[in-house]
Amino acid sequence: MENGIGFSKSGWDEIDSINFIDYGLFFVPERERQHEIICSAIPKTTSSTKIVDICCGDGLLDREILRRFPHHQLYLFNGSMAMLEKAKENLNEYIDRVTFTRFDLVKDDWRHFSWGVHAVVSSLAIHHLDDEGKKKLFRDLSSNLVSGGALIIADVVKPACDAGKEIAARDWDNAVYKRSMELLGNPDAYEYFKKLNWNMYSDPDPDEEDKPSTLFDQLKWLEEAGLVNIDVFWMKGGHAIFGGYKP
Ligand SMILES: C[S@@+](CC[C@H](N)C(=O)[O-])C[C@H]1O[C@@H](n2cnc3c(N)ncnc32)[C@H](O)[C@@H]1O
């Protein structure tokens, strides 16, 4: 099936995009809290700077960044037309500070910017790359950062042992169930989440198209990419927010 991204087959197609647009609020644990934490990890500055979002999706994180950082320009990259259209709609209020680019995460033809980057953020996308792909991506992104700039990643991570996998599977299910009950008053969104086998820890993908790496490995790769003050800012149900800063 044509994946709608039109680029490499990375385990994500336009049906996933529509499901994520409609159900992201339910499927992503503490989504608004995650956005708040990512924004808090971006170094504060009053000067006009440039922030890049790798696989921006429907732009909800970017709306929060644009609201909090009124001097920043955002450069958003995504492969899905449906996502880019939704992001344009969600960011209409800030459109003069946003540049959209359709890209393929797997390729490296987009990775060198002619200007210094204050921060690169990415949420729930880098797990589409394998270990070597992530290592190279971290190096390429780090090389574009200005001194003091940040690479902040939110993503699903590979549990290092069976106990970690069981905890991630259970906590992700519980978070989605709780959210469904809170927002809908019924478990419909949770039941749809289970029907789609969206929880990769309880319902592993037989094609192994998701390629999460352990958090520990990714922290090491950030260090190898030349970043310092590497830290984990939040974690729940197999989802983590982590990053580092350019010396
Ligand atoms: C789970 S969504 C996350 C969206 C957004 N970052 C968020 O957290 O709300 C994953 C995003 O990665 C994009 N994506 C997946 N594989 C890609 C690829 N190979 N090239 C470009 N974009 C890709 C999808 O289109 C989708 O927008």
**What pLDDT, in 10s, does the model give residues 32-49?**
999 999 999 999 988 889
Nearest to 241 by CA among 140, 123, 129, 159: 123
Side by side, which strands form the sheet with 239-245?
98-102, 73-78, 50-54, 117-123, 145-156, 239-245, 228-236
Place of tokens 């106990």: 163
Q: Which two tokens stand for residue 74?
A: 């955002």
The reported pLDDT for the residue numbered 5 is: 44
Q: Which of 53, 78, 86, 129 to mutate to test the pocket of ligand 1 (most atoms within 8 A of CB)?
A: 78
Reported as half-sphere exposure (CB side, CA atoms, 13 A), residue 98 has a value of 25
Beta strands 117-123; 145-156: pairing state: parallel
* Residues in contact with ligand 1 (CB, 6 Å cut-off): 5, 7-8, 10, 12, 17, 20, 24, 55-57, 60-61, 78-80, 83, 103-106, 123-125, 128
Distance CA 39, CA 66 (A): 10
The reported pLDDT for the residue numbered 8 is: 52
CB 75 within 8 A of CB 50: yes
The reported pLDDT for the residue numbered 164 is: 97
- Minimum-distance ligand 1 atom for the alpha carbon of 154: 8
Q: Which two tokens stand for residue 110?
A: 């987009």
Distance from the CA of 77 to the center of ligand 1, in angstroms? 9
- In sign, the C-alpha dihedral spanning 9, 29, 44, 99 is positive
Distance CA 191, CA 203 (A): 14
12 DSSP assignment: -
The helix/strand count (H/E) of the chain reads as: 8, 7
Q: Which of 16, 55, 75 to mutate to test the pocket of ligand 1 (most atoms within 8 A of CB)?
A: 55
Beta strands 239-245; 228-236: pairing state: antiparallel
Q: Terminus-to-terminus CA distance in the chain, angstroms? A: 44
pTM higher than the cut 0.85: yes
Distance from the CA of 57 to the center of ligand 1, in angstroms? 5
Q: Which two tokens stand for residue 4?
A: 């709608």
Distance from the CA of 178 to the center of ligand 1, in angstroms? 25
E-assigned strand segments in the chain: 50-54, 73-78, 98-102, 117-123, 145-156, 228-236, 239-245
Low-confidence ranges of the chain (pLDDT < 70): 1-10
- Among protein residues, the one with the nearest Cα to ligand 1's atom 8 is 123
